Structure 1
Amino acid sequence: MRRYNILFLLLILLSSSCEKKQTSDPLKIALSSKNPLIKRVMDSLDQYEIQIRYTQIDRGNDSLLFTDFDFQVDKNNYYYPASTVKFPAAVAALEKINETDSLTVDTKFYIEGDSIETTFSKAVSEIFAVSDNAANNRLIEFLGQDDLNKRIQRKGIGPIRIAHRLSTTNADDVTTKPLVIYLNDSTTASSRSIINTYPKPLVLEKIKKGRGFYADDILQDEEFDFSLKNYYPIETQHNLLKHIIFPEAFPVEERLNLSKPQHELLLNSMHTLPKDLGYDDEEYYDSYVKFLMFGDSTDPIPEHIKIYNKVGYAYGTLTDCAYIKDVKNNIDFMVTATILVNKDGIFNDNIYEYDEVGIPFLAQLGREIYNLELKRHR
């Protein structure tokens, strides 16, 4: 009888251990919240196609420890990255500037055929402050798609395929337009056009979505094919963020070739709020491009919380890749999350549940994780 009692106790202990292990994933705890902003998405997972990576950050003995937690993250399951691709464009452009003796971030230029003069530093700032499409496209003309992709891939950051510009008539052109660069106040020089390779169709799961789409105002009764669109999966987004926020955590050969001033420009741009760059704070409120934690509110973000991030939203897909730091409570963490909100399954009809479902979900997800971080023992 005693033998069976011991065996019974062992089974209880094993069961308790398994249960503890099962519930020790903080991301699963956050997603099991009874809050309706989370629950309505979790109750219809197939519809929303969410992917999430959350990283806990621990420090000790001058070292960093990253602990990643994933939910449905799969680089083979396609989602449209939208404006998040502006982050690698900014990084790659700064690298190229650093390798070109005649250029600095303050060099003034314009695209041939365009009348807007700008600088590289201004383009980078606009990309993060208000997700400016034109600023991103100017950097694509400067880089070319092939060079952008190679710069991210060669550091082992992950797969990426930037194939097109954003919201412009020449979006798919593989030949870039020349830049007219000011060498000084009165002297200019033109760069050469860059001929890039034609993109091959992506072969991925969920590359075709929905049940129809509009083209030239005519409803097409078939799935929308994303195979020639940009590809920038969660793993790559999150890894690039780690490389930028914590370059010292990587071997020298894996670090991006950015000077200290360039790195500071990038970090400042990533967390600077629109109002700090002179944008109207009613139209461009603090959380205008910061979905996690604060996206469903137009109230000012508390000063002690700094968010370094890049969002994207288009074709019903919302994504935020963010490093969040609370300087008052001395906590920091990283989250990259995406969600598809297209209930009617029709693309290009401009009927997406961004404000009703997507942004509230991401905001509450950020708050759930933040509250877990406040309680976490370090």
Structure 2
Amino acid sequence: MKYWVLIVVIFASCSNPIETALSSKNELIKTVVSDIKKHEVQILFTQIDTSSSGEMIFTDYEYNVNTNQYFYPANTIKLPVALLAAEFMDANENLNLDTPYIIGDDDNLHTVSDDIRQIFAVSDNESYNRLYEILGRDYINNRLREKVLNNTRVVHRLSTPEADKASRSNIRFFPGYTEDVIELKNQTDSDITPVTIQGINKGKGYIEDGVLKESPMNFSEKNYFPLEEQHVLIKKLIAPEVFPAAERFDLSEESRTRLLSAMKALPREAKYTSPEYYDSYVKFFMYGDSKDAIPSNIKIYNKVGYAYGTLTETAYIVDTENDIRFILSATILVNENAIFNDDTYEYENIGIPFLAQLGREIYKQEKERRE
């Protein structure tokens, strides 16, 4: 099947669906739009249609997207790492997603497939950190450059001491009872090169070791995953044929299918039965401000991130009953006091409600377009 992409329509056009969504009279939107520059909002939206001959057609729209304007990507960085881990396992004929492995001195067996399950179902940090130990920042970033994701960079683990250390844990894979153990030993990465783009110093202060530092927080040695490249990565997963062969990831069709299945799985579908893991636990668009069950006809293939006051989501959203498909990516900063790392952010009363309503506004337009 052939795929092609139509022209990008910029925000200035009155027919831009993002502009229409942001002009909503809904208070969840208006609260942010009234001071949208402060919130550092960026939005990308792709309509998906099918031609009479069965070809997929993308029509792209954007608002305030700037790859050179830094925002902290938080857990969205797990998306490319999960993809690259699946690709890494595919590339070794003796390994697969279900091959057991042990990390460091830990006696617990893990699999990449289970790490991916936990990453997308509840955004588990330890699972991400294990995949980081397997791949390392040099491999991750070199591979992303090869696939023309030139501005994304992964340089540290998440929520762990010495998150950015160059040395990595030894890994032992166990392909089978009759095969030799495959080891990754004495792995060390290059030093981090600081990022030098706009917005790398944020706020008027930050907390370090319990002490307020009255100067902007420097993010130059943090991960970065610009919104445009998040959006492109979703496209490469759902429709790799759109891209030249050299720019596609070398995933087997089975691995790609399993990765997409993990991305859309709700926590309860991924073995998380605790009430704290409600359907929209890590799905902000359309449903993030509700703990009600997501309707069975709505499938959301996504990754969210939230940390340091920044909320981000990139998602492929499908309504199987109404033949609606679209891609939506957005980021917003909610940090009223401009102090970072103080755990005082407006996630619940401004950020998540905005993203939820943005998703609903876009979905409403798409449903009307189908009628």
**Normalization by structure 2: what TM-score?**
0.93
262, 267, 283: which is aligned to 2:255?
262
Task: Output the amino acid matched with 1:69.
Answer: Y
Larger Rg belongs to: 1
Rounded to whole Å, the distance in 2 between the matches of 1:377 and 1:172 is 48
Structure 2, unaligned stretches of length 5 or more?
A: 1-11
Moved more, 242-251 or 341-350: 242-251
> 1:350 — aligned with what?
343
| Alpha-carbon distance, 1:310 to partner | 0.4
Moved more, 99-108 or 358-367: 99-108
CA change 1:22–1:101 in 2 (3 A) is closer
Number of aligned residue pairs: 358
Q: Percent identity over the alignment?
A: 46
**Local SS of the residue matching 1:117:** coil
CA change 1:220–1:376 in 2 (3 A) is same
**Local SS of the residue matching 1:373:** helix
Moved more, 207-216 or 155-164: 155-164
CA change 1:22–1:102 in 2 (3 A) is closer
Offset from partner CA, 1:92-120 (integer Å, 9 cap, x none) = 11111111122111111121033432101
- 1:307 equivalenced with 2:300 (yes/no): yes
Rounded to whole Å, the distance in 2 between the matches of 1:337 and 1:185 is 47
| Alpha-carbon distance, 1:207 to partner | 0.6
**Local SS of the residue matching 2:312:** strand
| Alpha-carbon distance, 1:281 to partner | 4.5
- 1:213 equivalenced with 2:206 (yes/no): yes
- 1:70 equivalenced with 2:62 (yes/no): yes
> 1:36 — aligned with what?
27
Equivalent pair of 1:80/1:315 in contact (CA under 8 Å):
yes
Task: Output the amino acid matched with 1:373.
Answer: E
Task: Output the amino acid matched with 2:17.
Answer: P
262, 265, 271: which is aligned to 1:278?
271
Rounded to whole Å, the distance in 1 between the matches of 2:80 and 2:282 is 17
> 2:5 — aligned with what?
none
The within-5 A match list for 1:1-378 is 22-60=13-51, 61-185=53-177, 188-376=181-369
Task: Output the amino acid matched with 1:290.
Answer: K
Task: Output the amino acid matched with 1:84.
Answer: T
Moved more, 251-260 or 151-160: 151-160
Task: Output the amino acid matched with 1:38.
Answer: I
| Alpha-carbon distance, 1:46 to partner | 2.2
Task: Output the amino acid matched with 1:36.
Answer: E
Equivalent pair of 1:161/1:232 in contact (CA under 8 Å):
yes
**Local SS of the residue matching 1:322:** strand
| Alpha-carbon distance, 1:183 to partner | 3.4
| Alpha-carbon distance, 1:220 to partner | 0.5
CA change 1:107–1:22 in 2 (3 A) is closer
Task: Output the amino acid matched with 1:106.
Answer: D
Rounded to whole Å, the distance in 1 between the matches of 2:54 and 2:293 is 34
| Alpha-carbon distance, 1:159 to partner | 1.8
> 2:3 — aligned with what?
none
Rounded to whole Å, the distance in 2 between the matches of 1:114 and 1:317 is 33
Rounded to whole Å, the distance in 2 between the matches of 1:166 and 1:122 is 18
Task: Output the amino acid matched with 2:139.
Answer: D
Rounded to whole Å, the distance in 1 between the matches of 2:131 and 2:34 is 41
| Alpha-carbon distance, 1:185 to partner | 4.8
Offset from partner CA, 1:70-92 (integer Å, 9 cap, x none) = 11100010000000000000111
| Alpha-carbon distance, 1:153 to partner | 2.0
Offset from partner CA, 1:358-377 (integer Å, 9 cap, x none) = 00000000000000000115
Offset from partner CA, 1:222-267 (integer Å, 9 cap, x none) = 0000000001100110000000011122232222100111011101
> 2:6 — aligned with what?
none
Rounded to whole Å, the distance in 1 between the matches of 2:343 and 2:321 is 40
Rounded to whole Å, the distance in 1 between the matches of 2:13 and 2:67 is 24
Rounded to whole Å, the distance in 1 between the matches of 2:15 and 2:175 is 58
Task: Output the amino acid matched with 1:95.
Answer: E
**Local SS of the residue matching 1:200:** coil
| Alpha-carbon distance, 1:201 to partner | 1.2
Equivalent pair of 1:175/1:194 in contact (CA under 8 Å):
yes
Moved more, 250-259 or 76-85: 250-259
Equivalent pair of 1:30/1:368 in contact (CA under 8 Å):
yes
Offset from partner CA, 1:266-304 (integer Å, 9 cap, x none) = 011000111012212511000000000000000000000
